[in-house]
């Protein structure tokens, strides 16, 4: 990529510089040729005016051919690198400037050319001979509609071409130097631009699943690569947190399942040794095995629900009436509350419709209600349904023990319990609220918790309302 960027950047600038130099060279050539053409055109115009003046002289007219046959007349218009010669209508020489010596001007073989501004009676051409260019213009002198002469003005472009060669050499030298600087600048630019990518690549190679603590830490870069590095570091942070959660989940799941398995195995051994001889031992062992099996089943079911809600694409959503769902859950759990001597109240008069998976929504309300009953020693648990700002809310309020303030941010973590010792005195898997949190997320809802120690806890689940949606 560095090579491609270098070649692309250098190539584009090289093409632009070359075009720029070519335009300057062509412009300089046009300016010099135009200057030479102006000089030749002025000489041709002066000759024409002088001939007209002699032809109408008050001291006696002088014929065109007589004037043109006089070298001194033509020498008045000739000069350095500029020669003049006249020819009759048959192409025979009439006269020429003395700087031509014994040589006659060429009157054929011109390359067609014309300056941007020129008198209408002048014809133009360029002539190359022995590596030297000349600029030629000629005009026909007429008298009484009869051709009397054709006057050729030839200007050597040797000096002009020498200037152009020097200027071209200067331009090419400047272009070569500029291209060298462009190449160096392109290499430096590509290295500066893509250097952080190399750092990102090296950092990525050093990162493994066992060590996600490394960060790229490309500070001080406010460009796209800095944003990429920061995004990469943020992603590593999320991955590290996710790996930590998964390791904790595996460790806690192993712990939660290991204990009941150990208890079941111990009771099974006790049954095989003494169960047939002592009926009380058999009943106690079977009851223990049954309870631990139920605990394992709850843990496994909760884990399966978590796995299900981690992949929401597999869910089948439909319109659900929260009021009916809350009433059904309240009726099914009222005996559990009565067994603890607390009241389970249902305040679900609002007719709230949501779009969701009925089984998961029932489990959400059930988990919150069972949790409230479990941690309420006296008083009541209240289930409610309310509408608020386009959302349908499920409210579970209890008068129980409450949750410590520092524990509230963690209660939705898997296998988390406010008791650091993770005591098994209170029945539960530690996955109930984690399941609730996942169910709320897959239904695009929000969950709020308000709690005070010794006064109780209120969970509010806000789900998108479907009351105004078509059935």
pLDDT at position 424 is 45
Question: Boundaries of CATH 3.30.565.10 in the chain?
Answer: 314-464
Estimate to the nearest angstrom the gap between the alpha carbon of 271 and the chain centroid.
69
Q: Which top CATH class is 314-464?
A: alpha beta
Tracing tokens 């120690």 back to the chain, one arrives at 453
CATH number attached to the domain at 224-309? 1.10.287.130
* Tens-digit pLDDT profile for residues 408-431: 888 888 667 665 544 444 555 567
Tracing tokens 């984690």 back to the chain, one arrives at 434
Q: What is the pTM of this model?
A: 0.47
Cα 447 to Cα 449: distance, rounded to the nearest angstrom: 7
The continuous run of DSSP H or E covering 95 comes out as strand 93-96
pLDDT level of residue 2 (50, 70, 90 thresholds): low
Q: Average pLDDT, whole number, for the chain? A: 83
What does the pLDDT average to over 166-173?
90
Report the sign of the C-alpha dihedral through residues 245, 250, 255, 256, in that order. Answer: positive
pLDDT level of residue 113 (50, 70, 90 thresholds): confident
Distances (CA, A) of 383 to 347, 388, 457, 463: 6, 16, 12, 16
Question: Boundaries of CATH 3.30.450.20 in the chain?
Answer: 2-166
Structure token digits, residue 395? 């409210």
Residue 276 has pLDDT above 60, yes or no: yes
Cα 111 to Cα 84: distance, rounded to the nearest angstrom: 19
Query: The domain 2-166 belongs to what CATH superfamily?
Result: PAS domain (3.30.450.20)
Q: 254 or 422, which is more confident? A: 254
pLDDT at position 259 is 66
């Amino acid at each position: 990529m560095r090579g491609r960027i270098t070649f692309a950047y250098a190539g584009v600038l090289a093409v632009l510089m070359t075009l720029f130099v070519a335009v300057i060279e062509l412009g300089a050539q046009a300016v010099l040729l135009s200057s030479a053409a102006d000089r030749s055109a002025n000489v041709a115009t002066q000759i024409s005016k002088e001939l007209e003046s002699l032809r109408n002289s008050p001291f006696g007219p002088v014929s065109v051919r007589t004037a043109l046959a006089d070298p001194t007349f033509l020498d008045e218009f000739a000069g350095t690198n500029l020669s003049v010669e006249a020819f009759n209508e048959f192409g025979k020489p009439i006269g020429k400037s003395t700087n031509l010596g014994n040589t006659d001007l060429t009157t054929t073989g011109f390359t067609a050319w014309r300056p941007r501004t020129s008198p209408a009676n002048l014809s133009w051409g360029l002539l190359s001979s022995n590596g030297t260019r000349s600029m030629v213009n000629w005009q026909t002198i007429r008298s009484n509609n009869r051709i009397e002469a054709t006057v050729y003005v030839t200007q050597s472009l040797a000096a002009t071409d020498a200037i152009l060669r020097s200027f071209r050499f200067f331009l090419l030298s400047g272009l070569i130097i500029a291209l060298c600087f462009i190449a160096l600048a392109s290499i430096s630019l590509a290295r500066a631009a893509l250097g952080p990518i190399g750092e990102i690549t090296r950092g990525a190679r050093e990162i493994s699943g066992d060590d996600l603590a490394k960060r790229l830490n490309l500070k001080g870069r406010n460009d796209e690569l800095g944003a990429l590095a920061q995004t990469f570091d943020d992603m590593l942070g999320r991955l590290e947190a996710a790996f930590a959660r998964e390791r904790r989940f595996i460790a806690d799941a192993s712990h939660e399942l290991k204990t009941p398995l150990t208890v079941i195995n111990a009771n099974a051994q006790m049954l095989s040794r003494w169960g047939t001889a002592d009926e009380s031992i058999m009943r106690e062992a079977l009851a223990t095995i049954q309870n631990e099996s139920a605990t394992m089943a709850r843990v496994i079911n909760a884990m399966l629900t978590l796995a299900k809600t981690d992949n929401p694409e597999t869910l089948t959503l439909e319109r659900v009436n929260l009021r009916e769902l809350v009433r059904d859950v309240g009726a099914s759990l009222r005996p559990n509350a009565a067994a603890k001597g607390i009241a389970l109240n249902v305040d679900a008069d609002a007719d709230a419709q949501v779009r969701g998976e009925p089984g998961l929504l029932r489990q959400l309300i059930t988990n919150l209600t069972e949790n409230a009953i479990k941690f309420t020693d006296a008083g009541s648990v209240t289930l409610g349904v309310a509408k608020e700002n386009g959302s349908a809310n499920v409210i579970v309020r209890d008068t129980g023990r409450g949750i410590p303030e520092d524990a509230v941010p963690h209660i939705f973590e898997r296998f988390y319990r406010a008791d650091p010792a993770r005591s098994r005195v209170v029945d539960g898997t530690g996955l109930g609220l984690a399941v609730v949190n996942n169910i709320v997320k897959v239904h695009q809802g929000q969950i709020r918790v308000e709690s005070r120690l010794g006064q109780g806890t209120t969970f509010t689940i806000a789900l998108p309302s479907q009351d105004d949606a078509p059935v």
